[in-house]
Amino acid sequence: QVQLVESGGGLVQPGGSLKLSCAASGTIYSIYTMGWYRQAPGKQRELVATIPRFGSANYADSVKGRFTISRDNAKNTVYLQMNSLKPEDTTVYYCNAFLSGSDGVARDYWGQGTEVTVPS
């Protein structure tokens, strides 16, 4: 069974920084793409950033230049360094991994979410 466990959320003042982490565990054959999404109450989940196993990252326009996604393939972990945080970044952040597990079938897995709060 595959699990994604996030950490690093919290309360930070505008202009501050936070770093989110997400570790995948369980029987994993290969992790293809990892990423971060966020979802505010009553709104659809939106992409924040994704990063393939090899290649360039992709960012939402709203976070370009402020957020940096990275991954450690040896640790099956993805990170999101968030700088210059704004009140509009306040919401729950979800980790995502598109990976193949013990059955060899690639599918999406999600973390439980971690809350980020930037007061106005």
Q: How confident is the model at residue 24 (pLDDT cuts 50, 70, 90)?
A: very high
- The answer to whether residue 38 scores a pLDDT higher than 90 is yes
Work out whether strand 58-59 and strand 18-25 pair parallel, antiparallel, or are unpaired. Answer: unpaired
With CA atoms as reference, report the closest residue to 59 among 47, 71, 44.
47
Euclidean distance between CA atoms 66 and 69, whole angstroms: 10
pLDDT in tens, 41-97: 899 999 999 999 998 999 999 999 999 999 999 999 999 999 999 999 999 999 999
Structure token digits, residue 13: 């003042």
Euclidean distance between CA atoms 61 and 87, whole angstroms: 16
**Section 21-36 average pLDDT:** 96
- Please tell me the predicted confidence (pLDDT) of residue 1: 87
- Please tell me the predicted confidence (pLDDT) of residue 89: 97
- Please tell me the predicted confidence (pLDDT) of residue 119: 97
Q: DSSP per residue over 22-72, as a string?
A: EEEESSEEEEEEEEEEEE-TTS--EEEEEEESSS--EE-TTTTTTEEEEEE
- Please tell me the predicted confidence (pLDDT) of residue 34: 98
Euclidean distance between CA atoms 69 and 52, whole angstroms: 10
Structure token digits, residue 82: 């968030």
- Please tell me the predicted confidence (pLDDT) of residue 107: 96
- Classify residue 91 as exposed, middle or buried by CB count within 10 Å of its CB (0-12, 13-18, 19+): buried
- Please tell me the predicted confidence (pLDDT) of residue 91: 97
